[in-house]
Each structure stands twice: as structure tokens, then as C-alpha cells.
Chains A and B, each alone.
Chain A
């Protein structure tokens, strides 16, 4: 019960803070629409009108991933700048539990990216929103968002130890888009990249979402999304503990 209260409180608080950040709001609102527009024109110019929903879902997932990545990457650094990282580290709950709701709130705002992309596609490009498995779609989207949030939590844990690790978040945006097949199918990539794709929740997430919308096996990819989400949670609880201990030894929790 106490754990749930900490999660709910952190989630609510982070949403409030994100809601007052004009930079975050602008990025979250404008970026998905740009992604969507570019994707629609790319697919349309390729004469593949039948796959516009496929492109739309991929563009939406690009927005979800960007929001999660920059939210998680910035979260720890911003808290360090603000001087609240030490407060979290010195509080009684496990540090992973303190930052879990922050990460989930970041991912949750990413759901807007998906919604905005689909609505933009419908209104501006006339893409019909007919889903093959609407209920599975409604399940796959939040499951993917939560799994991405948990993946973001693993990344955030490294930022506890390394003061400048958020630079990593800039490097990870495009490779994950590509390796997860958000922009184009991973079958176009070299074979050696496959294991990398299989380890990424966005890869399975976009598969589940696309299959739920366009038809195909949803349960397999959805199971992988949930499994990777749980694995991320387990990994982050260990890495947070390690990195927090190391940060206390190396004195990297504060700016100075």
C-alpha cells in the first residue's frame, strides 16, 4: 500500500511538473506532428497508400520513444541541477521506487504522441482508423508505453552515477527508431542487428500495436513487451541500487 502511494504521488507530481514545462509541452505537442507529416509524405510518395496507417503507428511510436528517452534522460540530470536528486537518494524508499513513477509519467505523456499522430493522420491526410483488434490495440498501447517507461528507468539509473550520461540519450534516439522498425521494416537491416532489435521493447511494442491495428499475431509480441518490461524493472532495481551506492562513494549525486 505504501509502495502504491509513493508511486501514485510521484506520478501525479511529475505530471504536474511536466504540465508547467513549456519546453516539454512544445516538444511533446509539435514533434509527433512533424514525425507524422514526414512519415505520411514518405509513404505516400512511395505509392504505398495502403500502408499509411502502418506509417502513422510507427510515427506515433517514434514520438512515444522520444518523450520517454528525453524524459528519463533529463529527469535525473534536471533533479541533480535542482538539488532534489540528493533528497530522493536520502529518502527511506528504494531509489528505484522513487524514480519509477517519474519514468512512467514521462512515458504516459508519450501516449499523447500516439493519439496526436493518429488524429493528425485522420484529419489532415484522411487515413481511416479501422483497427483489426480494437481491444488488443487498447491493451497493447499502454503495455508498450509502460514497458518503454521501464526501459527509460534502466537508462535513468546510469545517470545517477555519471553526471554527463544524459548525452547518451541524444545518441539513442535514432538507432532505436531504426532497430525497432518504427520507420521502416527491420527486414531491411543486416541480419546481425536482429538480436539487438529483439532486446528492445519498442520493437515488440510496435509489432503488437501494428498487428492489433492491421491484423496479425498480437499475443506473441505483447507477451514479449510485458516480459521485457518486467526484465527492465528487475534490471533497474538492481542497477539503481548499484549506481546509488557507487554515487555515494564517488560523490556524484550533487553538482559539486
Chain B
């Protein structure tokens, strides 16, 4: 059974440019995204910052109206049946905001329990359950303003699942959380799946998506550029090689020339103090070191290495393909 369905979903933001003479400017954040999530599945939407992940999730949880396209959650249209959708979903946004800071965790949860129709009788038990689940038991009477980022994030999750929703949307839930806290959060997410929930997770951490998701859609510049199981996505670049070249002062023009070298799939740049590290995804059956260095003629070149692709390379290749 399909629980989440997005068909050619688009969202354009209208903004203005200029100070005195303001001109309208349309920014396409999501450009025809389509995917479907089955019941009990953990589906990942993976992409860099600004790729359109949050906009997509906000349309699915009824916070934004799509500019065009259709989206259904549990068979209900997110535009015309927004109220019904809201009753049956939970969502969690990453980051510090989205909690009543001056109230305790318990007061926050009690308020949201009322909004989501958890009966007075069930509230105490359910609040204790979710506090236990996210590891905040014993700290629930403290004001949220004194919480660490990890604790806030766990409280976000507790709020999102308080009313026992069938579908949970998690928007970068581990962002800014320390490694130990992030690992605990990932365990909590895995527990949600074990409890039979359907989860849509957005993240820009490849390893997180790989560890948790049944299927992943990679989104870049508002479009889905790859979709499949983590293993299938990795296999897409497993046949290739990665050449890393240390250089100094390379500009966009050179990068453009490198990208069109025969056998090159993607090129990304990592700034490292004075130098830059070019990460070049290459076809496996080609030796491209010489042609790549030929394009860098005139620039100072440091170490050149070649290695097998990693998980991150799969992601970079997909995201970088559109550049």
C-alpha cells in the first residue's frame, strides 16, 4: 500500500529583487519531484543544502501549497484534505527552534497532546512513554531553554510521535547533534520502523541514509537525480574510479574544462586552506590522469592519487552530475 505519493510536485517561491525598483523574481525550489513510499518503509530524501528537501517535506505535511503537481499521504490529498492529513502524521524539523523555550518538556508535550487529541487519561502514560523512548525521562520538568541541542532534538521527536501517527516525516533530525547523540537518534528512528511506522527522512549525510533507509531518492537543485536502494545507488558508481588532485588557484573555467574530458563523470572541489582538492569521478576503464593534468597546465599541482569510490562518491556523482 502506498502511504506517501508525490507526482510531479513543483514549488516556486516568489521574491523580489532590487531596492528602489523592486522586480519580482521566481525561484524554483522543487522542480517536478515524483516518488512513492510503501507502508512500513523508511524512505530517504538525500541532497545538499538548498536542494529542495525541506520544501518537499513541507508540502507533504501541508505547511506549503504546491505550485503544481499532486501529493497524497495515506491516500489523502495534502491540499484539499489538509486537516485529515494533519491528524494522522507526525513531523520533526531539525535544529534548535520549534519548541516553547520557557516551558518544560512535559508542558510542551502536554500542550501538543491536547492539539493532537490525545485524551486526558492517555496523556500521562503516553508522555512518559515517549520521554522514555527518546531518553529524556528525569529531565522533563526542566525548561527547554536550558536543553542541549541533542536534548531539543530528542524532544522534537517525542513531540512528533506523541499522538502515535502512522507516518512520520523527519527533516534532518540529526543536524548539529554530536556523534553520540546522533547515533542515539538514529536508533530511535530505527525503533520507529520496528514499531511499524512509515518514515520519510531527509538528510544530507550519506552514511545516515545508508544506515537507515530502505530506499533513497537523491535530490539536487529541486529534481530527483537518482533513486533506489542504497546498494543500487552505490553500484552505480562502484565501477568507476576517483582521482584526487591537489591544486592551487583553480577557477570555474578550468573546472568546466575538466568536466567535459571524455570519461569524467563529475568534478567537485574541496577548499583546504591555501590549496584545493579536486575530486574527479572517472569511468573505471579509462586512465584519465594525463588528460586531467593537461587541462591543469599552468597551475601549480600537488599530490595526485587514485582510489576506489566510497559511498559519499556515489552521492557526489549524482548531485554533481547536474553541474
Contact between A86 and B114, CB atoms less than 8 A apart: no
The 7 closest A-B pairs by CB, nearest first: A83-B97, A83-B98, A9-B114, A91-B115, A20-B102, A92-B87, A92-B86
B63 at the interface (CB under 8 A from A): yes
Contact B102 A17, beta carbon cutoff 8 Å = yes
Q: Which residues of B contact A6 (CB under 8 A)?
A: 114-115
- Cβ of A138 within 8 Å of any chain B Cβ, yes or no, is no
User: What are 9 residue pairs bridging A and B, where the CB atoms are less than 8 Å apart in the complex?
Assistant: A2-B117, A10-B114, A84-B97, A84-B98, A86-B93, A89-B63, A90-B61, A92-B86, A92-B115
Q: How many A-B residue pairs have CB under 8 A?
A: 72
- Asked if B41 is at the interface of the complex by the 8 Å CB criterion, the answer is no
* Given A17-B103, A90-B62, A9 and B111 contact (CB-CB distance below 8 Å): yes
- B-to-A contact residues, CB < 8 Å: 13-14, 61-65, 83, 86-87, 91, 93, 95, 97-103, 107, 110-112, 114-117, 120, 159
Cβ of A168 under 8 Å from chain B:
no
Q: Which of A17, A92, A98 has the most CB of B within 10 A?
A: A92
Cβ-based interface call for A251 (8 A): yes
For A80, the closest partner residue in chain B by CB is B97
Residues 60-87 of chain A, each 1 if its beta carbon lies under 8 Å from chain B, else 0: 0000000000000000000000111011
Q: A16 at interface (Cβ–Cβ under 8 A)? A: yes
Task: Output the residue of A10, A87, A89, A98 with the most chain B CB within 10 A.
Answer: A87
Q: How far is the CA of A92 from the CA of B120 in the complex (A)?
A: 17
Asked if A199 is an interface residue, CB under 8 A from chain B, the answer is: no
Q: Are A21 and B63 in contact (CB under 8 A)?
A: no
Q: Which residues of A contact B65 (CB under 8 A)?
A: 245, 248-249
In the complex with contacts A16-B107, A93-B115, A82-B97 CB distance below 8 A: yes
Contact of B83 among A92, A245, A249 (CB under 8 A): A92
| Nearest CB of B to A33, in Å | 25
List, in ascending order, chain B residues with CB within 8 A of A98's CB: 115
| Cβ–Cβ contact B116 & A91, under 8 A | yes
Which chain B residues lie closer than 8 Å to A13 at the CB level? 100, 103, 107, 111
Q: How far is the CB of A239 from chain B (nearest CB, A)?
A: 18
Q: A16's contact among B62, B103, B115, by CB below 8 Å, is which?
A: B103
A141 CB to closest chain B CB (Å) equals: 28
Q: By DSSP majority rule, is chain A's interface helix, strand, loop, or mixed?
A: helix
Question: Within 8 Å CB of B117, what residues of A?
Answer: 2, 92
Is A130 among interface residues, defined by CB-CB distance under 8 A? Answer: no
New A-B contacts (19) at CB < 8 Å, excluding given A84-B97, A92-B116: A5-B114, A6-B115, A9-B115, A10-B111, A13-B107, A16-B102, A16-B107, A17-B102, A21-B102, A84-B99, A86-B63, A87-B112, A87-B159, A90-B61, A90-B63, A90-B91, A91-B115, A91-B116, A248-B62
Residues of chain B within 8 A (CB-CB) of A16 are 102-103, 107
The chain A residue with its CB closest to the CB of B120 is A5
User: Could you tell me the distance between the alpha carbons of A82 and B145 in the complex, rounded to whole angstroms?
Assistant: 11
| Contact between A87 and B103, CB atoms less than 8 A apart | no
Residue on B with the closest CB to A93? B115
Q: Provide the residues of chain A in CB contact with B103, threshold 8 Å.
A: 13, 16-17
Bound CA–CA A56/B87 (angstroms): 49
Cα–Cα distance between A224 and B266 once the two chains are bound (Å): 71
Which of A82, A83, A91: most chain B Cβ within 10 A? A91
Select A250's contact among B14, B87, B101, B111, beta carbons within 8 Å: B14
Contacts known (A13-B100, A13-B103, A90-B86); A248 close to B115, Cβ less than 8 A = no
| A17 vs B99: C-alpha distance when bound (angstroms) | 12
How distant is the Cα of A66 from the Cα of B93 in the complex, in angstroms?
35
What's the Cα separation between A20 and B95 when bound, in Å? 23
Judged by a CB distance under 8 angstroms, whether A253 is at the interface is: yes
